[in-house]
C-alpha cells in the first residue's frame, strides 16, 4: 500500500488510537454523506472575510516520499491555487528530528497556516502545540482525529470515514452475498483506520446474521505477506468464498496467486479498499468485486479549504472532525467520477466538494 511505511512506523509509536450508515439494498451500497463535527458553542462571533487582502502562504509538512503523501500535498496545492494562496512543502523523510525542524521552519517563516501529515502520533501533537503557541492555525490530515481526542487544539482533523466504510462493507455483503463466509487479511492490526473499520464492520456482520467471518489475519500492508496469509487460509481447509484484503496493492498480489490456483471468483471474490490507479483496472476486469474510494488528492484539497476558511475569517470553529465520505465502487459504476474519485487534481473534485461539503461553496 502507498501508506505502508507510514503505518509500520505508526505501529511502533501508537499507544492507542471515524460512523455513517450506508444503504442496505441489493444495489451497490450507497455512498455515505460526509460530515463535519464541531463542539457546541454558546456564542459565535460575527464572521469576517479578509480574503481580498494579500495572498496567504501555507506550510505543508509531508511525512515521506510515498505516492499517497505526494498526492495529498498535490491536492493541497491544487486547493491553494483555487483560492490564490501559495504553499511551502517540506518533506520529513520519515525522520522525527527533521519533522520537528520542518514544523519550526514553517512557523519561523511566518506562514499563515500549517497542514501537518505525520508518520507518527507525536508529530501531530507537536505541530498542534507549537502552532497554538505561535498563533498559527493548524489542520491535521491522516490522523483519524486522534490529535483532538488527546486534547490538543487544531482547526480540524481531516480523514476518511473509516467507520462508515466498515458499515458499508457489512451491509453490501449482507445484501449481495447472503450466506457466504469471509476471511480477512487486514492491512495492519495496529493501524487506526483498520481499528476503525473493524469496529463497525465485524459487529454489524454478526448483527445482520447474513455472513460469517471465519478468520482474520494481519497482512502488514505488505503484498508478499498478504499472499502468504491468503495461501495459508486456503491450505488450512477453511471454507470461504469472500476474501477481504486491506488495500488494492495487496489485493493485486493476492489476485495473481488466486488466478494461478484457478480460484479467483471460483469461488473466492475480492473485497478491498482504495479506488487507486492500481485497483481500478482490476475492478474493470471483474477481478475486484467491491472496493471503496479514498482519494488522497481530494483529501488534501479539503484540508486546504478547511484551513483557508479559518485563516480568512469565514469560520472560527476549532477541533472539527472532518470525514470524507465512503463511496462504493463496483464494475457497475466504475466509469462514474463521482464514485471513482480521481487521485490527481480534477474538476470533478469541485462537484464532489459542492455535494459533500457545501460550506466551502463560494470560496473559490
pLDDT tens track for 115-129: 999 988 899 999 999
Q: Give the torsion through C-alpha atoms of 164, 280, 340, 61, to 10 deg.
A: 70
Euclidean distance between CA atoms 306 and 103, whole angstroms = 19
Q: Which residue has the cell 506562514?
A: 111
Contact 197, 353 (CB under 8 A): no
Which residues have a Cβ under 8 Å from the Cβ of 209 and sit 6 or more positions away?
Answer: none
Please tell me which of 32-36, 189-193, 229-233 the model is most confident about, judged by mean pLDDT: 229-233
Q: According to the model, what pLDDT value does residue 53 have?
A: 66
Across the range 187-205, mean pLDDT stands at 95
Question: H helices then E strands: how many in the chain?
Answer: 12, 13
Superfamily of domain 162-293: Response regulator (3.40.50.2300)
Euclidean distance between CA atoms 99 and 44, whole angstroms = 35
Contact 232, 219 (CB under 8 A): no
Helix (H) / strand (E) containing 115: strand 113-117
Please tell me if the domain spanning 52-161+295-357 has the same topology as the one spanning 162-293.
Answer: yes
User: Mean of the per-residue pLDDT values for the chain?
Assistant: 88
Global pTM value:
0.84
State how beta strands 291-293 and 269-271 pair: unpaired
Distance set, CA 7 to CA 14, 218, 250, 256, 297 (Å):
10, 13, 14, 24, 19
Whether residue 111 is predicted with pLDDT greater than 90 in this model: the reply is: yes
Q: What is the pLDDT of residues 243-287, one digit of tens each?
A: 999 999 999 999 999 999 999 999 999 999 999 999 999 999 999
Ramachandran sector of residue 237 (left: φ over 0; alpha: ψ -120 to 50; beta: rest) = left
Which residues have a Cβ under 8 Å from the Cβ of 123 and sit 6 or more positions away?
Answer: 61, 63, 92, 96, 99, 100, 103, 116
| CB environment 100-123: b (16+ within 10 A), e (fewer) | bebbeebbeeebbbbbbbbbbbeb
CA 74 to mean position of chain CA atoms = 15
Helix (H) / strand (E) containing 253: helix 248-261
Sequence ranges of the domains in the chain: 52-161+295-357, 162-293
CATH class of 52-161+295-357: alpha beta
Q: Give me the residues paired with residue 331 across strands.
A: none
Amino acid at each position: 500500500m502507498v501508506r505502508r511505511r507510514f503505518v509500520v512506523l505508526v505501529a511502533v509509536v501508537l499507544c492507542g488510537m471515524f460512523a455513517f450508515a450506508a444503504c442496505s439494498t441489493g444495489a451497490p451500497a450507497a455512498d455515505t454523506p460526509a460530515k463535519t463535527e464541531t463542539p457546541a458553542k454558546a456564542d459565535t462571533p460575527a464572521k469576517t472575510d479578509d480574503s481580498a487582502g494579500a495572498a496567504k502562504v501555507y506550510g505543508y509538512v509531508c511525512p515521506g516520499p510515498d505516492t499517497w503523501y505526494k498526492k495529498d500535498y498535490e491536492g493541497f496545492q491544487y486547493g491553494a491555487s483555487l483560492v490564490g494562496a501559495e504553499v511551502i512543502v517540506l518533506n520529513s523523510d520519515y525522520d522525527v528530528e527533521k519533522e520537528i525542524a520542518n514544523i519550526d521552519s514553517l512557523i519561523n517563516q511566518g506562514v499563515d497556516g500549517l497542514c501537518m501529515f505525520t508518520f507518527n502520533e507525536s508529530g501531530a501533537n507537536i505541530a498542534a502545540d507549537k502552532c497554538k503557541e505561535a498563533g498559527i492555525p493548524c489542520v491535521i490530515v491522516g490522523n483519524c482525529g486522534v490529535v483532538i481526542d488527546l486534547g490538543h487544539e487544531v482547526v480540524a482533523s481531516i480523514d476518511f470515514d473509516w467507520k462508515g466504510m466498515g458499515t458499508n462493507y457489512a451491509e453490501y455483503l449482507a445484501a449481495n452475498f447472503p450466506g457466504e463466509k469471509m476471511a480477512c487479511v487486514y492491512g495492519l492490526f495496529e493501524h487506526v483506520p483498520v481499528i476503525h473499520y473493524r469496529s463497525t464492520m465485524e459487529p454489524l456482520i454478526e448483527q445482520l446474521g447474513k455472513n460469517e467471518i471465519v478468520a482474520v489475519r494481519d497482512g502488514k500492508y505488505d503484498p508478499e505477506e498478504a499472499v502468504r496469509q491468503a495461501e495459508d487460509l486456503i491450505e488450512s481447509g477453511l471454507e470461504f468464498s469472500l476474501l477481504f484484503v486491506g488495500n488494492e496493492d495487496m489485493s493485486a498480489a493476492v489476485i495473481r496467486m488466486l488466478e494461478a490456483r484457478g480460484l479467483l471468483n471460483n469461488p473466492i471474490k475480492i473485497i478491498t479498499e482504495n479506488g487507486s490507479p492500481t485497483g481500478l483496472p482490476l475492478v474493470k476486469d471483474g477481478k475486484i468485486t467491491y472496493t471503496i474510494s479514498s482519494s488522497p488528492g481530494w483529501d488534501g484539497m479539503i484540508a486546504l479549504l478547511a484551513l483557508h476558511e479559518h485563516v480568512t475569517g469565514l469560520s472560527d470553529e476549532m477541533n472539527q472532525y472532518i470525514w470524507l465520505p465512503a463511496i462504493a465502487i463496483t464494475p457497475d459504476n466504475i466509469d462514474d467520477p463521482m464514485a471513482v474519485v480521481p487521485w490527481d487534481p480534477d474538476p470533478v473534485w469541485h462537484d464532489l466538494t459542492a455535494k459533500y461539503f457545501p460550506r466551502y461553496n463560494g470560496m473559490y
